[in-house]
Chain A
């Protein structure tokens, strides 16, 4: 009961203080908003980028072709050996007949394919299509398969992840640098806000200390103030990003049909479920830590000056 009363007291004092210093409070919350907007934009870009790469990678595998005269039995034996490897998700055997049927269906019209009769120009094109559970192991797997008996050729593309590693790193560096600057500004503004609030209540704090209020009781309203500023600062960017994200994805798909039709974007609900906790931890963290440190230092000063 006593703790609940104290909690309400601290929240009440925190709100009162925010209202009294509303200009500074607004500036602090505004900086957190800017931080989170930037964080959100970069987070969404990078999360979608990773998602697209992962989706693409799940489709990518290697194709193994065999030397002329290799029997189906030998191919299936090789298939089993490959399938046993940890990095391999699945291996599908495509016989020469299936390969020819697939080719005909994809590339030849009926008239043209009829001219081949029962001939199979892809007689020696039976293959194994290997998909990986861990694409980072692709190079090692290719090297291993190439050294296997009966194997003529292994088709593979460089990992998409590897190709985009540089871009991802650059995006991270830019976003972290910008966020670090904004965090520094937010911390500075919150400290100024809390310091102003403490100065306004200097007399009250000095009396509280002499009367026997605990450090927690004196400091808590300011930490609550910081936390509220943090939460206030996070509401707007979460709302904006929620509204804008869906629109941007829709526009991208409509305007740049050829580029983005094949590309998958993370569903709005799903990405917000990831982003909201991150945003709240970030904004609350800045608010609480900055206000706690400031309150501790300033209140100690007041106690010594009494």
Chain B
């Protein structure tokens, strides 16, 4: 039986890249490519923006990284291992090493802030004592310790996204994927979330942010990969949001 996929162990064996797309194409319908011949390498500790207009293939990249879908052509490597070859029982272990936040937060409305964050640990069967230690730590990191008993509908959009971030981080992921994390937030809250993502990145987590937010991308001076019609049209260190229009 093949060993479980442990991203930390795999990463310790290699220098880079942590994420690699090699000639990846994805067709949802025959003849209509969502992405085409994508070649991207993301290194450990990088902060990367993926930009592009709707339908440019940004979310497809996220779904491929999570192994929710498989490429029609090419290979996706994470920590040097082709994730398309992961067996079904290995996928859950693999996903524990990746934190994800979404535009719509995806919080459980019937649970309070503490339980929403603890949920991520409970579903991976973490011991309760670890949950009691780790959840407050994450809530302090995102500045919501005082809201731990509040329910999602009692929080602002920015606060909800911070809960989602705490949930994504509570299992100590090596990679954090953020799919339009500021899409539902006002500028002030958007900046707060981006600052948090930057802090998380400084602690060593590789952060990949899919976004439409030109102001943030232009201001943060990070690596920017631009997609158009499913193809990479630019990949710049300290890039700007400028080639997104289809």
Which residues from chain A sit less than 8 Å from chain B, CB to CB?
1-2, 5-6, 9, 203-204, 206-215, 217, 303-304, 306
Instruction: Tell me which residues across on chain B come within 8 A of A203, comparing CB atoms.
Output: 106, 108
Of B68, B123, B125, B171, which contacts A5 at CB under 8 A? B125
Q: Dominant SS at the A interface?
A: helix
With an 8 A cutoff between CB atoms, is B31 at the interface? no
Instruction: Tell me which residues across on chain A come within 8 A of B167, comparing CB atoms.
Output: 211
Instruction: Tell me which residues across on chain A come within 8 A of B122, comparing CB atoms.
Output: 9
Q: How far is the CA of A134 from the CA of B92 in the complex (A)?
A: 60
Q: How far is the CA of A206 from the CA of B108 in the complex (A)?
A: 11
Q: Are A208 and B123 in contact (CB under 8 A)?
A: yes
Instruction: Tell me which residues across on chain A come within 8 A of B92, comparing CB atoms.
Output: 212-215
A212-B95 CB under 8 A given contacts A203-B108, A207-B119, A217-B123: yes
Minimal Cβ-Cβ distance residue in B for A217:
B123
Q: How far is the CA of A306 from the CA of B68 in the complex (A)?
A: 8
With an 8 A cutoff between CB atoms, is B88 at the interface? yes
Q: Are B96 and A212 in contact (CB under 8 A)?
A: yes
Instruction: Tell me which residues across on chain B come within 8 A of A9, comparing CB atoms.
Output: 122
Which residues from chain B sit less than 8 Å from chain A, CB to CB?
63, 66, 68, 88-89, 92-97, 100, 106, 108, 119-120, 122-125, 127-128, 167, 171
Q: Are A210 and B108 in contact (CB under 8 A)?
A: no
A102 vs chain B, min Cβ distance (A): 77
A205 vs chain B, min Cβ distance (A): 10
Instruction: Tell me which residues across on chain B come within 8 A of A208, comparing CB atoms.
Output: 123
Q: Are B68 and A214 in contact (CB under 8 A)?
A: no
13 contacts between A and B (CB under 8 A): A1-B127, A5-B125, A203-B106, A210-B100, A211-B120, A211-B171, A212-B97, A212-B124, A212-B171, A213-B92, A213-B124, A214-B92, A217-B123
Instruction: Tell me which residues across on chain B come within 8 A of A204, comparing CB atoms.
Output: 108
A6-B124 CB under 8 A given contacts A210-B66, A212-B92, A212-B96: no
Q: How far is the CA of A37 from the CA of B127 in the complex (A)?
A: 44
Minimal Cβ-Cβ distance residue in A for B164:
A207
Q: How far is the CA of A211 from the CA of B68 in the complex (A)?
A: 12
Minimal Cβ-Cβ distance residue in B for A9:
B122
Instruction: Tell me which residues across on chain A come within 8 A of B124, comparing CB atoms.
Output: 211-213
A212-B108 CB under 8 A given contacts A2-B127, A217-B125: no
Instruction: Tell me which residues across on chain A come within 8 A of B108, comparing CB atoms.
Output: 203-204, 207
Q: Are A213 and B123 in contact (CB under 8 A)?
A: yes
3 closest cross-chain pairs (CB), A and B: A212-B96, A212-B95, A213-B123
Instruction: Tell me which residues across on chain A come within 8 A of B94, comparing CB atoms.
Output: 212
Q: How far is the CA of A126 from the CA of B92 in the complex (A)?
A: 85
Q: How far is the CA of A215 from the CA of B63 in the complex (A)?
A: 18
Minimal Cβ-Cβ distance residue in A for B91:
A212
Q: Are A211 and B95 in contact (CB under 8 A)?
A: yes
Instruction: Tell me which residues across on chain B come within 8 A of A2, comparing CB atoms.
Output: 125, 127
Q: Are A207 and B96 in contact (CB under 8 A)?
A: no
Q: How far is the CA of A210 from the CA of B171 in the complex (A)?
A: 13
Q: How far is the CA of A304 from the CA of B67 in the complex (A)?
A: 11
Instruction: Tell me which residues across on chain B come within 8 A of A206, comparing CB atoms.
Output: 106
Instruction: Tell me which residues across on chain B come within 8 A of A211, comparing CB atoms.
Output: 95-96, 100, 119-120, 123-124, 167, 171
B176 vs chain A, min Cβ distance (A): 13
Q: Are A215 and B88 in contact (CB under 8 A)?
A: yes
Q: How far is the CA of A82 from the CA of B200 in the complex (A)?
A: 95
Instruction: Tell me which residues across on chain B come within 8 A of A215, comparing CB atoms.
Output: 88-89, 92
Q: How far is the CA of A213 from the CA of B122 in the complex (A)?
A: 9
B62 vs chain A, min Cβ distance (A): 10
Q: How far is the CA of A5 from the CA of B129 in the complex (A)?
A: 13
A20 vs chain B, min Cβ distance (A): 10
Instruction: Tell me which residues across on chain A come within 8 A of B120, comparing CB atoms.
Output: 211
B164 vs chain A, min Cβ distance (A): 10
Q: Are A212 and B68 in contact (CB under 8 A)?
A: no
Q: How far is the CA of A303 from the CA of B106 in the complex (A)?
A: 14
A129 vs chain B, min Cβ distance (A): 68
